[in-house]
Structure 1
């Protein structure tokens, strides 16, 4: 970087976009700084120089997203840097401050919003004192359980999922009674959220029929492989009578906002922000024309209050909530760096490096309290050449408390994208998967190759909401992909699943090594079906049901499972298609800390060996220091040397840096306690699930 050729521009909350952009006369917006740089570049005497946009402390309410085009690029030696002033923590908000509440006779806060009265402005999220408020819902805890679901297909379409259909959801009498207080003029705005397997359906209601206990909704046809059905769990939201618990809010059709305050909240000391902008930053190059946005850096900035507008069609079930947009959308870009930033209090995904993006980084960034997922890479389609997304580094970030609006979202999603480094991130408090890699089901061509997933700390994932999920989830042919040195624990699910590492349909050519996985529901490792995967030198401990699973046996080698240590105190060692699978399984240690029972897919260890497995393996104590207290360091080399296990330092996983950064990565004690309670309740109420 040429440090002797710098152009400084300043932004201040007290600035004005007609100013010159100097320290004495600062600008007010990012867009004005961008435009000023464009004008400077147009000067015939302009010489290449680094632009530093220095942003003073304060809150900036954005009137429009920042749009960067190829003309807004820097160079490799002279990038354009948008950064916080030293010691400052500027916040860019896509929201609107709502003030002037009054207290009504019910103790509710209420405010008539002119824009909602005259322009029908509506918002689907609300933030109170930096926390996500809850849209009025029923029930407040738990779910309403579906009795029966029927479907009438209006337009079949060409796929297995009908283009248009109507579904009737029947409830039990006592459950339907909670909906009686919905006003007739509210019905079209009432929504239900349904949680089924790995999917999440969000729909508006077309009609209520009290006589038949029926709710009618319409949209796409249900997926035959994962429909709504009897026993499904739903929640209803967005009607006035459901506003009955502190922390809930509701905006009626007359433009009046209601909020039921928490006991500690006062009108004088409460900040209420409604999100407005549906995107905060768009970086839009054109890779097909070799016209990229390049060499732009963001440092020390916070981005908050991005709105996700619920479409009139709702949100059809979609794995990983991949249909959402992101607050920061990037396409056709190279050398984009996001460092020491924050993205929070948004309704969708945080950051998406889409088609045609490469050679970029996200470092030391705090992504939390998000409606969707954290960081998404690549595309749904296998785009080759210039439009392929590759070589993105996601390093040393905290990505937590996601899926708050769309629970199927994941911490980090890698679609058709290759050669990415996903390292040293802390991913916690999601309802589905921590890291998902690959986007084909089976053996069709995939471009998710050579991805490195290492030294990540992934924990408190799944809860008891969705199923068929894992800390690390893979799909399709992924030759060269390595999953190593990750620390994974506290992974649970509603029904089946809740694995540490999950090689799903067609996962092939992946190495899983040096990972510590403990306190899962259904196993440290599961392979549905795949080819030539290697699982070696891992510690898999204390799954509740099975320690390892495989689902489908094929006529080729599915995986190699060697030099692993498996420790448990309940459940089976192995469950699934082990009697028929083609796999190399040997040089492992198995140890039941609770007794002498070893159930290898309903075989004794002796009979298991007769199948050709574990000829050189042992049922011996690996001699960990204190595994029940998550100390998996060794007291002795005696046992692990028998299988040529190589100890690894699992404490290196997760974020690194100063003490405050590491402390920030720790989930609150209340989240940890609530997770444990949810797991305990799920196990007690549904002991046979899985």
Structure 2
């Protein structure tokens, strides 16, 4: 009870289904603080025994006795040391080595299919216990409609409680040795010589090295993503000048459409012999990034030319970028580089390589549930894939519960269509894209999907695609994001589009770290996406890149019909922002050290009027509004 906050205590007093174990610190301090909060806690403590007694009496009086003995749930086991020829009904191999757990999730899935065809599902459902260890995934584990459970007989794939169960899309790399090749040593920074080691990936059967900008191989050491060799090692360098011949002027902000610019300093002279140098930058606006392959470097003119397609918004003097995928810049612990022609991996480990596993990602998406209902994934670690951890497409009432989803090339969990799916109690981090994406429902009919992301900890995401890959994305109709902690990311915490979403009781901090003119919670440019409520959230320390300004709740470009109620904003540059929309309500919020607390403008009557006649009108016409 000592961690209940104002918001969660009031949930108790109002009879809302709020559990103390799931309540984030979304109010103003702990319950032991102000007298009003102490009083609320005393009331809750007094009511809990009465409530428990009432529930117990209802249970005793209200549940009829059943004749006979109920059928027990079916339990199967999957273990790294298992065998798909065994029954799967034993957690460990027997002494004779004739029976024991299954080896693969596919075998467990197929046994359940067989059981359903022969006898149907047992009352109470099926539990597949996935035993401790690393379960190597070479391909996506797929479940379809025939793998569904029911409300009375759900199917649960659960890790052994208290153990570490890894579904890994990566391969452990071995056979590291010091770099001896004189040509490679010459290219390395003098500080790196003697520290960088190499391994032959192709010699270990690792032949799919992917591409730099897509389907990319990544390296993880001791369960942390390592850095593809880059310069500068952190942060950015600036565009010194532009030398293109197609100038642009966006409301007084000038630039050029051609990706050719003057660089500062002499560092690029080290890159001229790199086979595949890349640059990543915020080329015109601080909220739009892109990676380019370097086409050429002119040392005399001190220019870098990038390969098309050029950035959509163009390029601007003073904007920032960095270069990467450069063996010559492998100059500090934690950096790596792979030479795709030879298949050699170069790595400077932050500690001796023997003290941890070096893992490279190979598999794509790890898990796909397509048109599946009443299936739960629980207590698993999903890691080291190039794609998404879990995709739920269609179906109803499936869930991902108490899982760790980390070190992936794309999203953590994506829910696409269906109804009533849930992501709960998960820890998501180290993701190339966003954390959780929920979409579904019919906007034309306002039919809800009812998906939920609840009580998750989401951080250090959008490692690769930096912009518009939020911790939680809500699309469609009636999704809910509640009791989540979202922090430490380059751009948005929550991005939404559609109607009637509920964003409540989340703690959001240290986001928009690499962007400006952006929002911790963001939506924009639609008159018809109404009905979302943003309430009882705690947003703090959101100030944008180099403190140039960011927004707590950003209703951009005429976005309408949104309620911002009962939130706490602390040290947020611009707390609530209504950019020309209508029917938005900002009520009962607390603003501390925000400048300003509220911004409202009428941009549709000025510089944004162009969008009214184009994008806004098109989106209005697409909906059945007359």
TMscore range, shorter length: 0.7 to 0.9
1:240 aligned onto 2:333: no
Tell me how far apart the structure 2 counterparts of residues 536 and 149 of structure 1 sit (CA, whole Å).
47
Query: 1:121: how far off?
Result: 2.6
Could you say what secondary structure the match of 1:334 adopts?
coil
In structure 1, the residue matched to 2:113 is 38
1:269 aligned onto 2:355: yes
Query: 1:118: how far off?
Result: 8.2
In structure 1, the residue matched to 2:75 is 8
1:191 aligned onto 2:278: yes
In structure 1, the residue matched to 2:15 is none
In structure 2, the residue matched to 1:210 is 299
Q: 1:56 to 1:204 in 2, by over 3 A?
A: same
Could you say what secondary structure the match of 1:268 adopts?
helix
In structure 2, the residue matched to 1:290 is none
Tell me how far apart the structure 2 counterparts of residues 4 and 118 of structure 1 sit (CA, whole Å).
47
Tell me how far apart the structure 1 counterparts of residues 603 and 197 of structure 2 sit (CA, whole Å).
60
Tell me how far apart the structure 2 counterparts of residues 278 and 151 of structure 1 sit (CA, whole Å).
39
In structure 1, the residue matched to 2:223 is 130
In structure 2, the residue matched to 1:304 is 383
Tell me how far apart the structure 2 counterparts of residues 220 and 271 of structure 1 sit (CA, whole Å).
38
Does the Cα contact within 8 Å between 1:166 and 1:217 map onto a contact in 2?
A: no
Could you say what secondary structure the match of 2:115 adopts?
helix
Could you say what secondary structure the match of 1:509 adopts?
coil
1:525 aligned onto 2:585: no
Query: 1:214: how far off?
Result: 2.8
Q: Which one of 553, 559, 571 corresponds to residue 507 of structure 1?
A: 559
Query: 1:382: how far off?
Result: 7.4
1:227 aligned onto 2:340: no
In structure 1, the residue matched to 2:23 is none
Q: 1:32 to 1:87 in 2, by over 3 A?
A: same
Matches within 5 A, 1:277-296: 277-285=363-371, 293-296=372-375
Does the Cα contact within 8 Å between 1:148 and 1:169 map onto a contact in 2?
A: no
Does the Cα contact within 8 Å between 2:137 and 2:167 map onto a contact in 1?
A: yes
Q: Which one of 403, 414, 421 corresponds to residue 474 of structure 2?
A: 414
In structure 2, the residue matched to 1:17 is 84
Does the Cα contact within 8 Å between 1:378 and 1:389 map onto a contact in 2?
A: no
In structure 2, the residue matched to 1:657 is none
Could you say what secondary structure the match of 2:374 adopts?
strand
CA RMSD of aligned residues (A): 2.6
For structure 2, the 5+ residue unaligned runs are 1-68, 94-99, 180-192, 211-215, 247-255, 606-626
Tell me how far apart the structure 2 counterparts of residues 480 and 515 of structure 1 sit (CA, whole Å).
17
Tell me the number of residue pairs that the alignment of Structure 1 and Structure 2 aligns: 495
Q: 1:149 to 1:67 in 2, by over 3 A?
A: farther
Tell me how far apart the structure 2 counterparts of residues 269 and 173 of structure 1 sit (CA, whole Å).
39
Alignment deviations for residues 312-352 of structure 1 (CA, whole Å, 9 cap, x no partner)? xxxxxxxxxxxxxx332221121111111110111211111
Which protein has the bigger strand share?
A: 1
Does the Cα contact within 8 Å between 2:150 and 2:373 map onto a contact in 1?
A: yes
Matches within 5 A, 1:32-71: 32-43=107-118, 45-46=119-120, 48-49=122-123, 50-71=125-146
Tell me how far apart the structure 2 counterparts of residues 52 and 384 of structure 1 sit (CA, whole Å).
39
Q: 1:456 to 1:118 in 2, by over 3 A?
A: closer
Does the Cα contact within 8 Å between 1:327 and 1:346 map onto a contact in 2?
A: yes
Q: Which one of 544, 548, 552 corresponds to residue 493 of structure 1?
A: 544
Does the Cα contact within 8 Å between 2:170 and 2:363 map onto a contact in 1?
A: yes
Of 399-408 and 131-140, deviating more is: 399-408
1:27 aligned onto 2:102: yes
Query: 1:383: how far off?
Result: 6.6
Does the Cα contact within 8 Å between 1:110 and 1:257 map onto a contact in 2?
A: yes
1:432 aligned onto 2:507: no
Q: 1:192 to 1:378 in 2, by over 3 A?
A: same
Q: 1:351 to 1:150 in 2, by over 3 A?
A: farther
Tell me how far apart the structure 1 counterparts of residues 203 and 109 of structure 2 sit (CA, whole Å).
29
Tell me how far apart the structure 2 counterparts of residues 299 and 339 of structure 1 sit (CA, whole Å).
5
Query: 1:30: how far off?
Result: 1.5
Does the Cα contact within 8 Å between 2:290 and 2:311 map onto a contact in 1?
A: no
Does the Cα contact within 8 Å between 1:145 and 1:171 map onto a contact in 2?
A: no
Q: 1:358 to 1:125 in 2, by over 3 A?
A: same
1:390 aligned onto 2:446: no
Tell me how far apart the structure 2 counterparts of residues 249 and 18 of structure 1 sit (CA, whole Å).
41
Alignment deviations for residues 414-463 of structure 1 (CA, whole Å, 9 cap, x no partner)? 13x1111211100011111111111xxxxxxxxx1111111000011122
In structure 2, the residue matched to 1:358 is 419
Q: 1:487 to 1:239 in 2, by over 3 A?
A: same
Q: 1:255 to 1:152 in 2, by over 3 A?
A: farther
Query: 1:89: how far off?
Result: 2.6
TM-score normalised by structure 2 residue count: 0.74
For structure 1, the 5+ residue unaligned runs are 154-164, 286-292, 309-325, 439-447, 556-690
Does the Cα contact within 8 Å between 1:117 and 1:255 map onto a contact in 2?
A: no
